[in-house]
A = this chain, B = another copy of it.
């Protein structure tokens, strides 16, 4: 199982936008230059964060992207699931109900124990990512980082 390569891009872009001053924005081109990423593809991916409410897109000459809500209310899980969708990597096709060993439907009202364990593992993964917000990430950075980020990303310190 693999997450899209753009997962890393969007985690980093969101973390960078979390370091801008209130109301400031950065364009897809600025974010692409900041991380040396393909601008058109990145722009498309940023839209998935807009749809998820993680980012807001503003238009006009100074338009661009900014956080759609406070950094403390944006979790890593929201970003990852905006990129990859929220479905579990494990798909149960109810093979217990097919073939020579097929169980009668009456015995399959509860989820299969194997499917239940796989779902439990996915929930543990989700819980870990839901426990960290962008504000938590920013709090771990050296104090000088946000100023540097703003200057290199937007040209305005």
Contact = CB atoms under 8 A, between A and B. Distances in A.
A55 B12 CA distance: 42
A137 interface: yes
> Size range of the interface on A?
35 or more
Contact of A152 (B36, B93, B101, B132): B101
From DSSP, what is the main secondary structure of chain A's interface residues? helix
Q: How many copies does the complex hold?
A: 2
A134 B152 CA distance: 53
A118 B2 CA distance: 12
A76 interface: yes
A148 B142 CA distance: 62
A93 B30 CA distance: 20
A153 B96 CA distance: 13
Given A113-B140, A124-B125, A101 B35 contact: yes
Nearest to A76: B117
Interface string A96-140: 101111100000000001110110111011111100100001001
Contacts of A102: 36
A114 B2 contact: no
